[in-house]
Amino acid sequence: MTLEAFGTRLRRAMDERGPLCVGIDPHASLLADWDLTDDIRGLERFTRTVVDALADRVAVLKPQSAFFERFGSRGIAVLERAVADSRYAGALVLMDAKRGDIGSTMAAYAATYLDPASPLFSDAVTVSPYLGYGSLRPALDLARESGTGVFVLALTSNPEGAEVQHAVRAGGASVAATMLEHLRAENAGAAPMGSYGAVVGATLGDTLGAAGADLAINGPLLAPGIGAQGATAADLPKVFGAAVRDVVPNVSRGVLRHGPDVAALRESAARFADEVREAVAASGPAVR
């Protein structure tokens, strides 16, 4: 069964639940902060608490696959349940897997996360384009077919990213600007928003200009860096300009550090979502 287009579903979820994506990142130090053991029991308790607290109220939950994979098949089983339970409760699930390969291998990655028959079927997945944008075609095509979404790494918040992403191609466009141009073409004509997004760090500020980045891609912009990494909701209009209404701010530690108290997790997520709403509203009327 083909779902309604991801971009349509995402826009509705952001309008109804607030423009926020919360990461599910059960790394060892966070498990310790929650007084949980760094084993499958701790992983399961952590994940269950986050899903129970937030899946019925935030727009997007973003599990980081690596933190589940490190526990082997039992960790993947926890991830499968988290995906299914989150979607059942109404949250969109963005699988943070950052997969990237060519040919049949990329097709297999796409099927893992974007095929409705897969146990890990998610609403969207993060992918890496650095084997060439064309290498992503199996994921892009399957997303269109299944009503899911793809978020392509474009301008990431880690400082090392500039080495590749700001590199200038023949003709003068940066690698990042090229990726954004490809996504703009994928989203052409989509309403209210396309299903092909970019990952653009909320902490980048003026460095976006150095990359020649036009963020108006008619698609969602996943923006890591809010909270623990130093960016605030108030920074979003300055960083993203007219594209700010398409921004999906990602907060992980900023919310998760309040666990395992369910009420505190909910309060923190609600506060971030309200702050983003206010910052977007203050930026002025939508520009399309």
Catalytically annotated residues: 98
The distance from CA 185 to its chain's CA centroid, rounded to whole angstroms, is 20
Q: Residue 123's closest CA among 95, 153, 158, 85?
A: 95
Burial 231-243 (b: 16+ CB within 10 A, else e): bbbebbbebbeeb
Query: Which phi and psi (to 5°) does residue 93 adopt?
Result: -105, 120
Beta-strand ranges (E) seen in 2-123 are 21-24, 60-63, 92-99
| Alpha-carbon span 240 to 249, nearest angstrom | 11
Q: How many CA atoms lie within 13 A of 76 on its CB side?
A: 10
Query: Which phi and psi (to 5°) does residue 247 adopt?
Result: -80, 135
| Alpha-carbon span 287 to 243, nearest angstrom | 8
CB atoms within 10 A of CB 253: 16
Helices (H) and strands (E) in the chain, counts: 13, 8
Query: Which residues are paired to 224 by β-bridges?
Result: 250
CB atoms within 10 A of CB 1: 5
DSSP 48-64: HHHHHHHTTT-SEEEEB
| Alpha-carbon span 86 to 83, nearest angstrom | 5
